Amino acid sequence: MISIKQVEHVAKLARLSLSDDEKKLYTEQLAKILEYFDELKKVDTESIEPMAHALSVVSVMRDDEPKECVNREQLLGNAPAEENGYFRVPRIGE
């Protein structure tokens, strides 16, 4: 069971200012939450295999395999201007 003193301590750590009504309300709510955790502890999970995700996750990414690509000459063939194996672009600065 959780006490009002414990709720006040947590509120102080969180820098919260609680009224007396709020302290009482949060004490009751936290007590119910802790009771539920006690109930969950009773569940037998010995035969359950641990998992990282609730749903089965399948990678949608393909394997990274090298493929044939365009060579430099083909790329530069599409350029409006080429110089020494590079794209020639207009000068921006002086």
Q: What averages of pLDDT result for each successive group of 10 residues across the chain (94 residues)?
A: 94 96 96 94 90 82 85 85 88 84
Alpha carbons 40 and 48: distance in angstroms, whole number = 14
Could you give the C-alpha distances from 64 to 47, 61, 67, 93, in angstroms and in order?
37, 9, 9, 40
Q: Which domains does the chain have, with CATH numbers?
A: 4-41 (1.10.20)
Q: Which residue has the tokens 């009482």?
A: 24
Which pLDDT belongs to residue 70?
Answer: 82
Which pLDDT belongs to residue 49?
Answer: 87
Does residue 20 contact residue 8 with C-beta atoms inside 8 Å?
no
Does residue 2 contact residue 30 with C-beta atoms inside 8 Å?
yes
pTM value surpassing 0.75: no
